[in-house]
Amino acid sequence: MTTIKKILCPTDLSDECRPALAMACEWAKQFGAELHLLHVVAGLSNPYPYLGPPFNEAMSWETMIRQKARTALDEWPLPEGFATLKVVRQLRSGSPIAHIVEYAQVTGIDLIVMGTHGRGGFSHVLLGSVAEKVVRRAPCSVLTVRPAGTAKPTA
């Protein structure tokens, strides 16, 4: 049987991620595993630092966004009944896909449990799927959890 010691639950802190968090907590409790919550803030770039204000203020905006994201991640509650889990909360900036895969590799994650937004059609083509790309690149197994009510009827 596979031993699971570390579970990663990447999150954008949205309600759609709550079912994945609940499942990650269940698995962590079942295996006595450490739960890692990872939130990645999309990086802000400042292509014109030499122009002066307001054009070179991206760094102050990024600092403010990171501070708010850090607070939101620290305060993001676990589902009821899981307060005793060992939880590691990490914040990164940049590409969510790259950071999720890198974090899993560097920290020796055994299982990634992540939510999907259940987008289809044009929005899926336009936005792509972070979960789909993580499944393809992850160094470990990935369990994707769809939000409730997103099942598509079959023909």
CATH number at residue 17: 3.40.50.620
Give the whole-angstrom CA distance, residue 56 versus residue 83.
43
- What integer pLDDT is reported at residue 131 of this predicted model? 87
User: pTM, whole model, 2 decimals?
Assistant: 0.81
What's the token pair of residue 36? 């890692």
- What integer pLDDT is reported at residue 58 of this predicted model? 53
- What integer pLDDT is reported at residue 81 of this predicted model? 92
Give the whole-angstrom CA distance, residue 141 versus residue 139.
7
Taking Cα atoms as reference points, which of 46, 37, 52, 24 lies closest to residue 88?
37
Q: Which residue has the tokens 């102050």?
A: 60
Domain count, the chain: 1
In a domain, 151, yes or no: no
- What integer pLDDT is reported at residue 124 of this predicted model? 45
Quote the percentage of the chain above a pLDDT of 70: 75
In a domain, 155, yes or no: no
Q: Which residues of the chain have pLDDT under 70?
A: 1, 43-60, 118-128, 149-155
Give the whole-angstrom CA distance, residue 6 versus residue 51.
46
Residue 34 amino acid letter: E
In a domain, 1, yes or no: no
Domain housing 68: 6-145
- What integer pLDDT is reported at residue 122 of this predicted model? 46
In a domain, 152, yes or no: no
